[in-house]
Amino acid sequence: MANIRPRVFLVGAGPGDPELLTVRAVRVLEQAEIVVHDRLVSPAVLDLVPEDAVRIFAGKASRKHVMPQSSINEVLVTQARTGRRVVRLKGGDPFIFGRGSEEAMHLASHGIAFEIVPGITASMGCAAYAGIPLTHRGLAKGVHFVTGHMAENGELDLDWRRLADPDTTLVIYMGLMKIDRICGNLIEAGLPLETPAAAIENGTLPTQRVITSTLGGLPGRVVESGLSAPTLFVVGAVAALSETLGWRTAPNLDESGAAD
């Protein structure tokens, strides 16, 4: 496939801050003729799309699908066959809870050449902007990434005993509506109530909010703070480091956010 000119580019838009786009992503966007984009792609990133490019909104929110995944797949094939340069712009990274692999498989099954342009994941970008290292010597040996979406039977189909590991960081995507149940299941599986936890709303954007708490207190803090989607959750000892490493609110920064 490397010798075939791609007709569809599956591009990771990162967590929101356009400064976090890869050089490759910017180059592809600047040459786009058709852009199929998600709800979580920030306006600042969309500003990089040429004015004469066709924009197709394929946004999805919890329980609200503007365009079902099957329709998105078909749109990509149909637009690719017009011969124009198609960019599928997805928040974060296409292959981390982005269904980019499903779209790539659909393109491949129809003989459509494509290229994957990785993006900074929401977990990496939001945690870094909140001053939370996902791993840290003596605190976290590894990371689990999970989604808070419910299975078809209405249950959160996760291995709670495995996730309730005090030596591992747990990052929860799309868990805002179920955070009380998630925390309860982790506690029931043995993770201590006092385990540090954090919620990051609109990570990397100017409107970013970081709420720190404990596993036991997190659901109440979420309600009290009125957090809304997109919110990412980090559970584990490293979450407590936000108070020290939260560089966006550190006193050595001037009002513009630039280092002194």
Catalytic positions, written as ranges: 38, 60
Tell me the two tokens of residue 143: 């990371």
Alpha carbon distance 182, 13 (integer Å)? 28
Helix or strand holding residue 126 (H, E): helix 122-129
Instruction: Taking the CA atoms of 35, 39, 43 and 44 in sequence, report the sign of the dihedral they define.
Output: negative
Do 60 and 10 form a contact (C-beta atoms < 8 A)?
Answer: no
Q: List the Cα angle 47/101/107 in 5-degree steps.
A: 85
Alpha carbon distance 28, 15 (integer Å)? 18
Do 145 and 38 form a contact (C-beta atoms < 8 A)?
Answer: no
Longest CA span, the chain: 56
Alpha carbon distance 177, 162 (integer Å)? 22
The DSSP code sequence of 142-207 is EEEEEE-PPPTTSS----HHHH--TTEEEEEES-GGGHHHHHHHHHHTT--TT-EEEEEESTTSTT
The DSSP code sequence of 31-91 is T-SEEEE-TTS-HHHHTTS-TTSEEEE--EETTEESS-HHHHHHHHHHHHTTTS-EEEEES
